[in-house]
Structures are given as structure tokens and as C-alpha cells.
Structure 1
Amino acid sequence: MPERASTLFTLGLGLLSALAAFPAAAEDPIRITQLKRCGDLFAEDSLSWCLSAKGLPSGGVQLYLNGERVAADTLQRDGKQLRLTLAPDAVRSGPLWLERNGQRSNPVWLSAGRSQVLAAKPDEVARNMDDLTTYVDLVSLIIEEDHEGLDKARQLAEKYGAKVVGAIPPLNTYQLRLPVKDLTERDAMVLRLGSEVGVDAVVIEESAAENDEQETGKTADQKRPQNREWAANRFLDAVDYYRERIPAGQRAGEKQPVRIGIIERAVDFDAPHFAEYLGPCDPQQQRTCLYARDADRPDNHGSSVAGILAAHASDARDQGFLSALDGTGPGFEVIVERNSDAGITANVAASVNLVEDGARILNWSWGIHRIGTVDVEGEPVDSLLRSGIAMSGYEELLEEFFLWLRREHPDVLVINSAGNGSAHSGRDDYRLPSSFITEQLLVVGGHERNDRKKVSVEHPDYVRKRKSSNVDMRVDITAAACTRAATLDPEQRGDVHCGTSYATPLVAGAVGAMLSVNPGLEPDQVRELLRRSAMTIGRDSDFEPAEADDLTAPILPSERGYRLDDRDVGRSARLDMRKALELTVESLKNSR
């Protein structure tokens, strides 16, 4: 062999050997990014869901629902999308995931509930006179109770040349696509529809609802440990008490896992905090399980809210509250669900499905202000604004939701963020949904550590009101407003994000743990225990404080053993997660 050819042959063998030393390129991870009802939403003989995913292999992929493989003939594939069609009697709500060669996707929650609304596409929205984005041809009709909703909606659709395209049947609410081209035509048709016999209200959608209940910007000190803020609510003390001080029979026994619904879009399962949920998870094995669509970024709103409940981390400062209880309680299911991107209408539709699927707690880290809302300083609020006509429709829809809860699901508790406008949370003309007065809605404000006061955690000056937190008597309790976002690097600590959005899941986690100990607690009893156990925040005050200082409803003598001279009386309430659990254990004795 000539010398040059021999050299090339030797180099070729070396290259092949080097390539053989490297494993084959791994397949891209499968991530489910969307799951929603599709096709004819009102079909009686079959139900269809459309699923979108990243990383779908070109070959076959298996779909699992409630742990059982779905028959291949129920699936249709179109590129990165799958369509699942099942007979109505074969559908049971539960986790759904994809598998390929032993690799699992993130689990999402498939609901058998019939509530589904459509979101407008980019070319189906316009800017209204208030310079807000609004849907042009999609509106929802709330039909009066004495009418059969679907029949009435179809009758009106035929009369106006519209089409029924979505529904929230338990609330007698139906979504119509109108034959209009612009807002002038829409508004004229909305006026005519609103005056029809049997129509209670027309809901106009103005963009998405949750962009976001977090403040813009970050705290100055990025090196602060996360539990520096959570210590103000005795986060780790509560974990220790639950795991070590509550007898095993009271923690688990024959109790069912507690199901919690979080109204958010998605969670980033590529972040180490959530990677464990890509494997098998059974809440019956005393575990916390998380079901959610996959997000593109680890610092998104949904990941931060869900992480406060369900993040996994070796450092206790970054551990989610419920996941820190793994192995001790009856188990928890955290369902992140948004229905569609159709704003508040979708939030309510998702909430209805989750309640019908057994959720005892709903975490609503969202809310809106009406145009013209002013803060405690008299300055206009400029975040999460909606027009007056949109607010009136939303108010009717939310009222129907809470009436339905009271009638059909009186044990469900909705935990809602007070908002970040430094405004009055209880003004029903200017803030939703926190202004509703119902035992089944608990409103959460935000606080932060007070660096200027070196005092014990019990002292009212240990924390101070978060300047942007909404206030007033309608706020039931406050919790730490700051958390760290997840990251893709397990060695990197995320940025600090703040807002009442992140105070809300701290309360939801505490309530979830309370219900795992005593499932018989009713919403008003939960509120009573949270208020009785609360630490305080703020100055000495009487029962008529200046509105700007009235962060929450003041602690009453009845919440302190009827002691008029108790130092807590008149102050605002601050979540004490450990004490709330202690009182819950005592409530078991009182219920016997």
C-alpha cells in the first residue's frame, strides 16, 4: 500500500474508533406544551383533545392516561400534534403523559369536565377606545337560571347569525362567535344580545388575566436566601412540626390525597426543581405529584407559583412546602391548569373543571383593576386594567361561579392574591375577584422583612407591608411576598421575584396541610384557624385605623380568646404556618 494511502487508512480507523467511543446522540426530551378540548365540544358520542408537544420522535409514541396505555386507534397524529378521541363513558379525569423508549414527558391533567372556551387569535383582537386589547368576535352569554342554557344560546346564535363555540355548562355560560368585523359592529350586537329575554349578562374578554400578579423588577439583594422571607411565616418550623410532631395516624391514616388547583399556564420541567416529576408519581404513596404543561423558561410566573408548593431541592431554602412533607402525609396533587389563553373566562372555566375533578383548594394568583382605580395615595393604578364594560361582565361571571360553589361544592376554598396596585382590594367596582364577600374566598396580601428592626419573628415589626400590596378590611391575611425563580443550573440561585402572587401559594400550602390533617374543616373554619393562629404586622392601632395602614382586617378580641387587652388586637394578620397546624390538630379533638 502506498505510504499516503496507508496514512489515510490509519487516520480513518482512528476517527471511527473515536466516534465509537461517544454514545449516540440522545433524543430530545418530550414535553407536552398544550392540551385542550377540540373538535365539536357539544358532541354526545365522542370527546376529543388536541395535544401539542416538543421533541416528538418520528416513530411511534405511547400515550398514557391514569396509568393505562391508550389504544393506538384512538390517536391521530399531525406532525407535532396528537388528537385523542374517546367515548364519553371511557373518560376519567387524571394525569396524561407520553412515552417513547422508556422516556416520559411531563404529566398534564386531562379533565373530563365539559367547560372549555376559545382564545382569540392575533388577528381576532383589536385595541378599544381605552387602548386595551379586546376580543372582536368572541363573547360569552350568561343565561338566566330558568332557561336551558345550551338551547337558549343556540336559539340566539341562529337569530344573530352567530355560532356557539365554547361553554361553561355548570354556570349556564356559553361562548359565541359573532358575525362581526370590527368593534363597532361587536358593540352594537352585544347591546342587542344583552337585552334579549333570558340573557343575564354578556362577557367581553380583554386580553389575558394573569400578566402578571407580580411586580416588575427585582429586590435589591439577590444573595438573600429564600427562606429569609419565608421565616416570617414559620415555613420550616411548620415542615418540622408536620413531620415530627403530628402522629402518623393523624397525618395520613385512611385519608385521600389533597388535590390543589393552580390557575396558571405552565411549569418548566427542564429546571432541576421539577425534573423529579418527569418520572412515575403516585400520590397514594405519600408523595406530592405535579401536573402541568411545559414552559419555555424556568423563571415564568407559573413555575414560581407552583414551585412554592412543589419544588424539589436539596437545600431546604428552595424546597416547596408540600414536597417537603413527602413520606408523611396522605399525599398531594398539584394541578396547574389554564384551560386556554382566553383571559378570565378561561380562568373560571378551568376552575370549574378542577372543582368537578375534586380540587379542595384553588390558588388564584391573579386579579384585575378597573380603569380609574386609585391607590392609597390617590394616584391612578396602571397595572392589569380593564374597561368598565368588561368588569361588569366579569363580575357577573364570578358571581355565578361563587353561587355555584356555595350550592354544589361548599367545601372548596379559593385563595386569591390581593393584588399589587397599592390600592383597596375590597372595592367591588374597582378590583376583582378579591372584592367578593363569601366564606369560600380567602384574600392574601404581601409583606417583606424589615431590616431596620432587629426583633424576634413574633414581633409585629419583624416584617413590614410590601409597599405595592393592595390593602383594606377585605384582605384576610398576609404572607411573604418574595420568592426565588427556578433556574436550569442546579448550582445557580434564581432571581428574586416579589408580589402577592407568591404570598398566595404559601397560604394555599398551609391550607392543604391543614386539610390533610382534618379533611372535615369547612372554609369558614379554615379562615378562623388561620386568623386565630396568625402573628401580627404593623403598628399599635384601634378599630378605625387610617385606610392606608389597614393592611388586613384587624385581629378581633374573638380571635384572641375574647381578651380585650391582647396586644394583637387591632393589628393586621400575618400567616403562622406552624401555629395553624397546631390549631388544626386541636380541632380534631374538638370534632370528636
Structure 2
Amino acid sequence: MIAPLAQAEEALRITQLQRCGDLLADSPEYCLRANGLAEGELRVHLGDKTLDAARVRRDGPTLRLSLQQGPGVPVWLEQGERRSNPVWLSRGRSQVVAAGPDEVAKNMDGLTTYLDLVGLLIEEKHDGREEAERLAAKYGAKVVGAIAPLNVFQLRLPAKDLVQRDALLLRLGSEASVDAVIVEESAPEKGEEGERQEVPSGPSEPSDDEWAANRFADAVNYYRRRVPAKQAPIPTTPVRIGVIERNVDFDAPDFADYLGNCRPQRRTCLYARDADKPDNHGSTVAGILAAHHQRGGNSGFLQALDDAGPGFEVIVERNSDAGIIANVAASVNLVEDGARVLNWSWGIHRVGAKNVEGDEVDSLIRSGLAMSGYEELLEEFFLWLRREHPDVVVINSAGNGAAFSGTDEYRLPSSFITDQLLVVGGHQRSQKSGVGVDDPEYVIKRSSSNIDMRVDITASACAHASTLGEGERGEAHCGTSYATPMVTGVVAAMLSINPELQPDQLRMLLRRSAMTIGGDYDFEPMDAEDLTAPILPSERNYELDDKDVGRSARLDMQKALDLAVQSRDRVR
């Protein structure tokens, strides 16, 4: 009788990594959870270094790491011949707590809201930590988290129900030192961090080459030929990108090359927690930047530039599962860790927001109470960014509510007006025959994409998901979530060519290079349904009769890179 084959060893994967214990302590501790841990020697690596075994406590699948303050670094595990996925470990001061299943309740709008966790934005003239501790003592609360650079502190309140919570919110909000109270509304633990995915069907079914509308392949070819050209090669600069998502499935062939240590010299590196499905939101968003371009369903723009480029680091990070406040905390840490570009494929609508047809938006909605706190938090983030990190650019999805992206009482964060925020809408192929790629009728607006003059540019809304099969293409995922990393990728490549480019210059080059979409509205469309801010004569060499003037802007990746090359001699 032939003995059965031994079962293959389970893959070693890090599924969770976040700050634990006292989040405000000077000596941070991190809790790491991994699948596939076996008995025997285990090595925990921080980048190129191995963590001293005395700093690692193991309890089954969970490791507790005792670390010192320092810059962010990738952490990965090694056991025998197996290597885990690398995860970015940020040792920044911005760490917040998520609510558990017993710490949430349903509010009057039927939305899940945190019961006893609340954020306080302290007036900048105060020492935030000291004032937060004073208020906590006054109201019987405890300071449990912080986004210190923004003077935001998270308190756990002595509230047992929403009546008690709301009474405490009123009292805290009336304190002279409190600028805003931030109430979180998201599901316990795993909330919605990304835009709702559309399921294509019928006439909206995407074509197999949606990215042709943005000259994706032309851009890859241009970069790979122009940057290392024998005559007049272009020196390049490494770029670090922060992607605010939850995780990536490293079992997919798209991401198999990223296991273990990754040295970002002339190659792309990807750091993320492991997901259990290859077609999850984070895998698709990150895959547009970093998926292997020949092995799976997705195709990463930055990965396709390996060897020609300087090296790109794509960091997928969420801080904790605490919703919008965690997104902002992760963003602050990533910026302090050197991220030059942030990808925000998320956003929220206010309860009662109307779409262009006059119907209520039903995706990613929040109450007025929560929206007012989020608005103050995001405003403080962008003020801090402008003051401390003016060269960082945030690229945000316009949203999938078929609504107006720039109306602040309806939509966040895309409504903010700042040079450091680029807003991306979504389009798809029109299927009209006999038109060239630069023809406005080559594409149409994705029906669910949010619109209006606050949208800077549109990009392809559909991408194929990753799969577990070698060479297999997954189902199409559509939404402005997936248009956003198209712009993020080309912006990162532009910065690698010319790191002196500032956010306002990046926007200018993207729109100067843009192709068009939609009709010629002559600046004032009767129905107020601009897809993006209309192209101005100043964006077409001041030629008033240019055919593009008055139309909406569509991403041209190849020409944007060409303008970045030209800008090296013009903007220094």
C-alpha cells in the first residue's frame, strides 16, 4: 500500500500587527498574529536586522514584541525555509483603539456607533496630552489613544448607553479647550475602509482593456525606455507610497514575489498584512500599483517599472480597525515615516446626501454628528500637512454615490479645497467603434462615479481582481477606488523622475497632459454635471480655441510622465 503524501506545510503569514498595551507608553509593544507558526526556532526580522529573542514573547499564534522608539521598518518572520509577508511597523506616536463587538450601539439613524470611545481635538494653544488627562480625570474617563501631531486624543468614557454617551459629549464639547468631538461610526473591529465595490452587469460590463483609455502600457514602455536611455539617462529618486487599506492576499501569484525581506533598490516592495481572499478591496487597490504584471489577474504599474526605476515602496497600512480616525492616524504615521504619496480609496457621505437624480445616497453614510467631527479632524490633518509636510500629496477617490463630490455637507474628504488633495473620478470604455484613444467619446463616465468641479481628473474605474491561480484573471472590480491608484502610480513615477515637483505642480502637469471625456460644455453646463473641473485655456498653452477647453480631464499616463521629464529643467 502506498502511503499518502505528507500534507504541505502551511504558509507563514502575518495577519495582524498593531500597537498593544499602553498606546501612550514611551517603550512601545506590538502584538503580531501569524498563521502557520510551527514549534521550534522562529526569527523575527526588522528589515535587515533580527530582533533579539528576549524582546519576543510567544503565545500560540500571537507574538508580543517589545521595541524601542525609532523610524518605521518592515517586520517579517522566518521559520526554517518559510518566510512570511513583510508588514510595515510604524513606531509613530499616532495610535488609536478600535471598539469591540460589545462597545458599539445603533443610533437613531440605524448606524453602528462607538459607545464609549471618542476623540477630542484639543485647541493648539494647549498641551494636548496634559489637557486630555485633565478632562479625562474631570469626567471619569481614560486617555487610551492619540494622534499627537494633530493634538487629537482618544478617551474611553464611563458610558453604558447612548444617552450617557451623548450627555458626556455635550459636556466635553462645551469645554473651552476642546475644538471638536470626534464620534466614530463604523462596524466593530472590521469596518468599511474602502468604497463599495460595484458589480458590473449588462451594458456597464467593462472591456478587457479598460486601461488603454489611460495609456497604461504606453506609460510603462515610455518609462522603461526613456529613464535608462543611453543618451541623456534620467537619474531617479526612490518614492514611498502609503495605501490606506487593510490587507493583501500573498497567496495570490500577483504578490508571491514579495515574501521575506525586500530591498527596494531598483524594484518595488510591498508591505501588508495577509488577507484570506485574493479579490478583497486591498488586494485590488494595492495590485494596481504592485501586482506582478505577468502572473495573475491584476497588473501593477510600479512593479512593471522594476529595473528601470529607482525602487518604490508600497505600504498598506490601517493603524487599527477604528474607522476614519484610524485612517488619519495611519496617514500621519506614514507621512512621518517618509511617504510622499498617500492613496485614499475611501470616503463617506452624510445621511440624506442626494445623488444627481435627486435620490438619497445609500453607500458609506454617516450621521451629521459624526460628519462634523470627521470634518474637523480632516481639516486639522491638512493644516498639519501644509505646515509640516508641504510636499506630500493625497490622492482620494471621488466616490461611487452618483453624487456631487465637492459638497462638504454631503461628502468627505473629497470636498476639501487644498493643493495637497487630488480627487479622482471614474470612467469606462464607451464601446463606440471607430474612435481613437484621444477622442472624448472613447470613454464615458462610470454611472455611479461622483462628479463636479472638485474632481481633478478621471481614470479607468475597472480592474481585474487577483486570483489564486497562476495566470488567471479574476472578475472585474469597478469603482473610483480603483481609478485612484492609477493616478497614485503615475504621480509616484513622476516624483521619481523629478522629486522637486510640488502638489500644485503635479496637478498642473496631470491636467495639462490630460485627454478629454464628455461633451463640450463651454464652462457652464446647464445641468451642472461637470465630470471634472473643465480644462482651462491656461492648461492648453492659453489657446482659447483648443478643442479640449471646456471639457473634462481624463488621465494620460504616458504624457504625464513626459511632462515630468520636461519639468526637470523648468521647475527647479
Bin the TM-score by the shorter chain: over 0.9
User: Could you tell me which residue of structure 1 aligns to residue 507 of structure 2?
Assistant: 527
Structure 2 residue 368 is matched with structure 1 residue 402:
no
Query: Are the aligned partners of 1:154 and 1:164 in contact in 2 as well (CA < 8 Å)?
Result: yes
Please give the per-residue CA displacement for 1:203-225, whole angstroms capped at 9, x wherever unaligned: 00000563541333234499966
Structure 2 residue 299 is matched with structure 1 residue 288:
no
Q: Secondary structure at the match of 1:191?
A: helix
Structure 2 residue 76 is matched with structure 1 residue 76:
no
Range that drifts further, 65-74 or 489-498: 489-498
Structure 2 counterparts to residues 219-234 of structure 1, below 5 A: 219-220=201-202, 226=208, 228-234=209-215
Q: Secondary structure at the match of 2:113?
A: strand
User: Could you tell me which residue of structure 1 aligns to residue 440 of structure 2?
Assistant: 460
1:119 to 81, 84, 98: 98
User: Could you tell me which residue of structure 1 aligns to residue 475 of structure 2?
Assistant: 495
Amino acid at match of 2:181: V
Query: Are the aligned partners of 1:262 and 1:363 in contact in 2 as well (CA < 8 Å)?
Result: yes
TM-score (norm 2): 0.96
Amino acid at match of 1:263: I
Please give the per-residue CA displacement for 1:443-500, whole angstroms capped at 9, x wherever unaligned: 0000000013430000000000101000000000000000111111124320111000
2:153 to 156, 174, 179: 174
Q: Partners in 1 of 2:296 and 2:38 — Cα distance?
A: 37
Please give the per-residue CA displacement for 1:424-459, whole angstroms capped at 9, x wherever unaligned: 000011100000000000000000000134300000
Structure 2 residue 541 is matched with structure 1 residue 585:
no
Q: Secondary structure at the match of 2:375?
A: helix
1:420 to 378, 396, 400: 400
Residues 140 and 247 (structure 1), Cα distance of their counterparts in 2 relative to 1, 3 Å cut: same
Q: Partners in 2 of 1:567 and 1:294 — Cα distance?
A: 48
2:487 to 488, 507, 511: 507
Segments of structure 1 that go 5 or more residues without pairing to the other structure are 1-14
User: Could you tell me which residue of structure 2 aligns to residue 38 of structure 1?
Assistant: 20
Amino acid at match of 1:213: E
Structure 2 residue 542 is matched with structure 1 residue 542:
no
Residues 222 and 434 (structure 1), Cα distance of their counterparts in 2 relative to 1, 3 Å cut: closer
Q: CA RMSD in A?
A: 1.7
* Structure of larger gyration radius: 1
Structure 2 residue 134 is matched with structure 1 residue 152:
no
Amino acid at match of 2:24: F
Q: Percent identity?
A: 67
User: Could you tell me which residue of structure 1 aligns to residue 38 of structure 2?
Assistant: 57
Structure 2 residue 86 is matched with structure 1 residue 107:
yes
Q: Partners in 2 of 1:492 and 1:41 — Cα distance?
A: 43
Q: Partners in 1 of 2:234 and 2:264 — Cα distance?
A: 12
Q: Partners in 2 of 1:224 and 1:459 — Cα distance?
A: 18
Amino acid at match of 2:425: G
Q: What's the offset of the Cα at 1:66?
A: 1.5
Structure 2 counterparts to residues 245-260 of structure 1, below 5 A: 245-248=226-229, 253=235, 255-260=236-241
1:204 to 180, 183, 186: 183
Amino acid at match of 1:567: K
Query: Number of aligned pairs?
Result: 568
Structure 2 residue 244 is matched with structure 1 residue 270:
no
Q: Partners in 1 of 2:513 and 2:562 — Cα distance?
A: 9
Q: Partners in 2 of 1:37 and 1:248 — Cα distance?
A: 45
User: Could you tell me which residue of structure 1 aligns to residue 66 of structure 2?
Assistant: 85
1:327 to 307, 317, 323: 307
Q: Partners in 2 of 1:224 and 1:449 — Cα distance?
A: 7
Residues 252 and 34 (structure 1), Cα distance of their counterparts in 2 relative to 1, 3 Å cut: farther
Query: Are the aligned partners of 1:130 and 1:387 in contact in 2 as well (CA < 8 Å)?
Result: yes
Query: Are the aligned partners of 2:244 and 2:344 in contact in 1 as well (CA < 8 Å)?
Result: yes
Query: Are the aligned partners of 2:427 and 2:443 in contact in 1 as well (CA < 8 Å)?
Result: yes
Query: Are the aligned partners of 2:339 and 2:392 in contact in 1 as well (CA < 8 Å)?
Result: yes
Segments of structure 2 that go 5 or more residues without pairing to the other structure are none
Amino acid at match of 1:62: R
Q: Secondary structure at the match of 2:98?
A: coil
Query: Are the aligned partners of 1:251 and 1:516 in contact in 2 as well (CA < 8 Å)?
Result: no
Q: Secondary structure at the match of 2:270?
A: strand
Q: Which has the higher helix share?
A: 1
Q: Secondary structure at the match of 1:549?
A: coil
Q: What's the offset of the Cα at 1:279?
A: 4.0
Q: Partners in 2 of 1:407 and 1:583 — Cα distance?
A: 28
Q: Secondary structure at the match of 1:153?
A: helix
Q: Partners in 1 of 2:296 and 2:53 — Cα distance?
A: 43
Q: Partners in 2 of 1:453 and 1:500 — Cα distance?
A: 25
Q: Secondary structure at the match of 2:417?
A: coil
